[in-house]
Amino acid sequence: MTDNDRLNYYLTAWNLSNPRFLKQTVTSDVYTVRHDAETVVLKLLSPSETEEQVGALALRYFDGHGAVRLLRYDDGAHLMEYAEGDELVTLVERGEDENATRIIAQVIKQLHGVPQDAPRDGLFLLDRWFRELFRKAAADRQAGVESIYVRGASLAERLLADPREARVLHGDIHHRNIRQSSRGWLAFDPKGVVGERTYDCANTLCNPVMPEIVHNETRLLTNAAILADALEIDLPRVLAFAYAYACLSASWSLSIGADDVEQWMLKVAAIVEPHVDPV
CATH fold for the domain made of 89-275: Aminoglycoside 3'-phosphotransferase; Chain: A, domain 2 (3.90.1200)
Positions of CATH 3.90.1200.10 in the chain: 89-275
Q: Residue 186 — very low, low, confident or very high, per pLDDT cuts 50/70/90? A: very high
The reply to whether CATH 2.60.40.1930 applies to domain 3-81 is no
Look up residue 245 and give its amino acid: Y
| Cα distance between residue 56 and residue 59, in whole Å | 5
| Terminal alpha carbon distance of the chain | 52
| Predicted local distance difference test score (pLDDT) of residue 47 | 77
What residues does 57 pair with on adjacent strands? none
Lowest mean per-residue pLDDT among 77-86, 104-113, 119-128: 119-128
Distant-in-sequence, close-in-space partners of 10: CB < 8 Å, separation ≥ 6? 16, 42, 44, 76, 77, 79
| Predicted local distance difference test score (pLDDT) of residue 233 | 97
Is residue 170 within 8 Å of 187, Cβ to Cβ?
A: yes
Percentage of the chain modeled with pLDDT above 90? 86
Handedness of CA 154, 250, 223, 103 (dihedral sign): negative
- The CB-side HSE value for 125 (13 A sphere, CA atoms) comes to 6
Give mean pLDDT, residues 58-77: 95
| Cα distance between residue 254 and residue 136, in whole Å | 9
Lowest mean per-residue pLDDT among 7-16, 24-33, 139-148, 261-270: 24-33
Percentage of the chain modeled with pLDDT above 70? 99
Positions of CATH 3.30.200.20 in the chain: 3-81
Distant-in-sequence, close-in-space partners of 43: CB < 8 Å, separation ≥ 6? 28, 29, 30, 31, 52, 77, 78, 79, 80
Q: Residue 270 — very low, low, confident or very high, per pLDDT cuts 50/70/90? A: very high
| Predicted local distance difference test score (pLDDT) of residue 49 | 67
Residue 1, pLDDT above cutoff 90: no
